[in-house]
Amino acid sequence: MSITLSINANQIDAPEGSSVLDVVNISGTYISQLCKDPDMKAIGACRTCLVQIEGVRGYPASCSTPASDGMKIWTDTPELDSIRRGVVELTLSMVGENVQDGPSDFQELSVAANHYNIDKSRWEPRERETVDDSNPVFNIAMDSCILCGRCAQACQDGHQFIGAIDFLGAGQSSRIGTFMDKPLLESVCTTCGSCLASCPTGAIDVKFAPAQEIKTVTTTCPYCGVGCGIKAKVDAKDQIIEIEDDPDNLSSVGMLCVKGRFGFSFVNHEDRIKSPLIRKDGELTPVSWEEAMEYVADNLIKYRGDAFGTLASAKATNEDGYIQQKFARLIMQSNHIDHCTRLCHSPSVEAMLTALGSGATSNSYVDYEEAGCLVVVGSDATSNHPVAASRMRRAVVERGAKLIVINPRRIDMCDYADIWLRPRPGTDVALLNAMAKVILDEGLADTSFVDDRTEGFDEWREVVEKYTLEYAEGITGVRANDIANAARMYAQPPFSGSCLIWGMGVTQHTMGTANAHGLLNLAFVSGQLGKPGSGISPLRGQNNVQGCGDAGCVPNSFPGYQVLSDDTISKFENAWSNQPLPREHGLVITDMVTAMDDGRIKSMYVVGENPLLSEPDLTHAEAAFKKLDFLVVQDIFLHETAQIADVVLPATTFAEKDGTFTNSERRVQRVRKVIEPVGDSRPDWGIIGELGRRISDKLGLELKHEFDYSHPSEIFDELSGLTPIMGGITYDRLEQEGGIQWPCPTSDHPGTRYLYESDFPRGPKAKFVAFDQGPAADEVPTERFPLILNTGRILYHWHGGTITRRASNLMARSPELELAINAEDAQKYGIDDGDWVRVRSRRGDMEARALFSDKQAPGELFVPFAKLQEHAANYLTNPALDPTSRIPEYKVCAVRVDKLVNGEVVSDGRRRRVRV
């Protein structure tokens, strides 16, 4: 429905629900609008968007006046002009004498002042407060603040739901500040930069003014799996100078986090590998591409078949992944291809494949906002998926959704939670089974869903039957009443449906697959699946971990999860020049490491991964990688794995190539080339294609044309042609419609917001799979190693930190590895807040700065697994595997902690004896 209004006597059509300001903007008439952010609700504070409306008394602010059909609006009558000039002049007096100062103009305020020909305010400037420069990335300078409130709105309800800054004081002393008026750095600020993006005067601004931009490219953020839209600004030197949010992006709706907005300087970092390197006389030596390609091709030929394994990158594009699996299967005749999902969500994927037949998030982010109850299990979404977390907070704050947090740590989301369950690490199966039993016993189950759409219910019910609340309380340590209340809330939310959201806290256990099944069973029994506002969401950690699996970089299936069967193998053989393809399932990454160790795999081609930081028990992984005859690493930095490689090939980052990423909500989004490749680097698809052509030639396979592409869009067309779930997606559609969520089988299909509305990929029925609680963890605390170490991520570092270590803004915010320790434990081991400590497990040790935190229970420690200052948590972690999915138990290992003085251990963790 649209309405028609007149603006200064011109007829304008506008959608219903617009404000008068929206209509004025549609008409193209300039009107100052200092406090109105295009993505947010009207505040109505600046009073500069005044208009006159026929039949309405006075001069209403157009931003907060709803438009209606037939309205007659004037924006520039003499009275209006005089009032508005007065308002703008008064506003200008707030930024005072500084108008002429320095390079920073007052942005939107200056534009308004210029428009109305005001160069200086007649009034005395306001008294000025000091600048808060505590945040290493940006300053808040009250001396150019006009108190419009946009930053406070961006930080709080309505946008990011963080709440670091707000209006303080009254009258003359009104200002923007933090809780208790402390420096910004001591507040809950996450440096997401939303305030900075919304500030109309530059009062909140980056520390160093960026150079003049010459172009802006819309692309997709390279960090986590949320898949936010970003706009990258580039200067004349072809360097990215600034990243802005993209309000049109359907996944991030104008939000970004600190990594997305400020973590871009790695792209032009001096450490980028700029030319191919070959190990000569023990040293990695720069060579030409020609020499490198010949050398790699000549060597890889020797290991075709089972002796070859490859790791694909969940940071690279779908097109890169597709080419890589094609290269491995067609040219190298090996199904030993895997990617990092093995180390994060493989239990979720395995469980979902068994129970549903597809390993993807069933719902969209918009379902979080519509849900009546959100259950966040083992996921610190605020740190790892900040924008998704904002959308969850929006559900809680704006719509009154219930929030249940299940986590042994007191994560930030607990602030918003109705119920927080704190199970002992590794006891989730008992907890989830007990919740299911409450749902069954109290008649809260969705019996029609269970009867019509599931199987295996009776067998499962028998197993669950013994998990009474008392029994579960004994195992998990969670109060029986809380378990029961959580179960009731989940099964019967106050409105709409319930979403189950989980992360690594569920999966990185020896019981990982059992945990994931426990969650799925809970969704089945209460029917919280296949309708709006409900669903199951494993939150993905990497930008394209979904897409990497979709593109076929897994050892047991072709693109689109078409499992290796005679039919699919012949389908792909036909598509790929009738060359026979390997028929056996390949090895997963954790098993590949074992296979390297015992000599079955002799050559590895590692693309965009750093297994020597991400594998558990690094000392053992290093030994295995060193046994390889031939190791090729293709990456952007010379990381730990690259340092022991025989050949290193320089790849490009997301900013230097075209392609697509697929995010957590199955949305395929365009990645666009922002700058030219740095140095001699090349996109992954180009390098792998070149290798494919060379090896094909050397072997006389006549497969050269199979790797001949001029643009990634040709690769995507081939991928979508062979992959029914993406059959209807093309670059042209992505260009016009933005991201499209698969399944999208045909070109007129709009994409799918949520899955499983009527059936499941495995057939008409989903499957209950029962599990009993096993041992909580492979390793339990002992006298020698009395504490449990939990690993995870923090907001400012991304995974192993190979990228974020080279992003100066992020390093400034978090330069050191911090070990979170409960004050009670710290006292026991004689550690003070801020002491350097050494943490030891049976496998290795690391050093970190102790930081008192009550987020974890006594007896538990937490450390991010990023590598900072040569210390990394994965020297400690346990490679014990979940038997089904082969995921290592990153979340639990037994450790001890000792205080360090000048690098020496001074106290003994066991006996509290001080040696000095």
Out of 33, 62, 93, 156, point to the residue binding another protein (CB under 8 A).
156
9 binds another protein per the rule CB under 8 A: no
Q: Nearer Cβ to another protein, position 161 or 796?
A: 161
Q: Nearer Cβ to another protein, position 44 or 532?
A: 44
| DSSP-assigned states of every residue in 492-520 | S-SSS-EEEEE-HHHHSSTTHHHHHHHHH
Q: Nearer Cβ to another protein, position 149 or 686?
A: 149
Closest distance of CB 391 from another protein, Å: 18
Q: Nearer Cβ to another protein, position 291 or 832?
A: 832
CA distance 460 to 770: 5
C-alpha distance from residue 701 to each of 468, 580, 698, 765 (Å): 63, 11, 8, 44
Return the structure tokens found at 447.
């019996």
Closest distance of CB 416 from another protein, Å: 10
Whether the bond between 712 and the residue before it is cis, its omega within 30 degrees of 0, is: no
Closest distance of CB 157 from another protein, Å: 8
Per-residue x/- track, 567-596, another protein (CB under 8 A): ------------------------------
The answer for residues whose C-beta is within 8 angstroms of residue 559's C-beta and 6 or more apart is: 322, 325, 550, 551, 552, 719, 722, 723
Q: Which residue has the tokens 């690993």?
A: 791
Closest distance of CB 109 from another protein, Å: 24
CA distance 194 to 198: 6
| DSSP-assigned states of every residue in 846-908 | EEEEEEE-SSB-TTEEEEE---BTTB-GGGT-EEEE-TTT--EETT-EEEEEEEEETTEE-B-
Q: Nearer Cβ to another protein, position 82 or 172?
A: 172
Q: Nearer Cβ to another protein, position 165 or 604?
A: 165
824 binds another protein per the rule CB under 8 A: no
168 binds another protein per the rule CB under 8 A: yes
Q: Nearer Cβ to another protein, position 3 or 414?
A: 414
Name the residue type at position 609.
E
CA distance 432 to 412: 22
172 binds another protein per the rule CB under 8 A: no
Sign of CA dihedral 303, 572, 704, 632: negative
Alpha helices in 442-492 (DSSP H): 447-453, 457-464, 469-476, 480-491
Closest distance of CB 129 from another protein, Å: 13
- The Cβ of residue 332 has, within 10 Å, a number of other Cβ atoms equal to 26
129 binds another protein per the rule CB under 8 A: no
167 binds another protein per the rule CB under 8 A: yes
Stretch that binds another protein, among 24-32, 109-117, 160-168, 908-916 (CB under 8 A): 160-168
Q: Nearer Cβ to another protein, position 11 or 172?
A: 172
Return the structure tokens found at 491.
């099964």
The answer for residues whose C-beta is within 8 angstroms of residue 566's C-beta and 6 or more apart is: none
Segments of 51-127 assigned E as strands: 52-53, 72-74
Strand partners, 241: none
- The Cβ of residue 290 has, within 10 Å, a number of other Cβ atoms equal to 9
Size of the site for another protein (CB under 8 A): 12
Out of 69, 181, 757, 824, point to the residue binding another protein (CB under 8 A).
181
Stretch that binds another protein, among 167-175, 318-326, 531-539, 699-707 (CB under 8 A): 167-175
Segments of 352-445 assigned E as strands: 373-377, 402-406, 419-421
Closest distance of CB 396 from another protein, Å: 12
166 binds another protein per the rule CB under 8 A: yes
Q: Nearer Cβ to another protein, position 167 or 836?
A: 167
C-alpha distance from residue 86 to each of 92, 123, 148 (Å): 10, 11, 16
Closest distance of CB 194 from another protein, Å: 15
Stretch that binds another protein, among 159-167, 378-386, 496-504, 843-851 (CB under 8 A): 159-167
Closest distance of CB 159 from another protein, Å: 14
Strand ranges across the sheet with 229-235: 213-220, 229-235, 240-245
Q: Nearer Cβ to another protein, position 190 or 878?
A: 190
822 binds another protein per the rule CB under 8 A: no
Closest distance of CB 173 from another protein, Å: 8
Closest distance of CB 16 from another protein, Å: 33
Return the structure tokens found at 173.
């002393």
Closest distance of CB 164 from another protein, Å: 8
Q: Nearer Cβ to another protein, position 177 or 559?
A: 177
Q: Nearer Cβ to another protein, position 163 or 535?
A: 163
Q: Nearer Cβ to another protein, position 463 or 823?
A: 823
Out of 1, 9, 180, 916, point to the residue binding another protein (CB under 8 A).
180
Out of 163, 493, 538, 555, point to the residue binding another protein (CB under 8 A).
163
Return the structure tokens found at 797.
């570092």
1 binds another protein per the rule CB under 8 A: no
Angle (CA) 79-80-84 rounded to 5° is 120
Closest distance of CB 833 from another protein, Å: 13
Residues found near another protein in the complex (CB under 8 A): 156, 163, 165-170, 177, 179-181
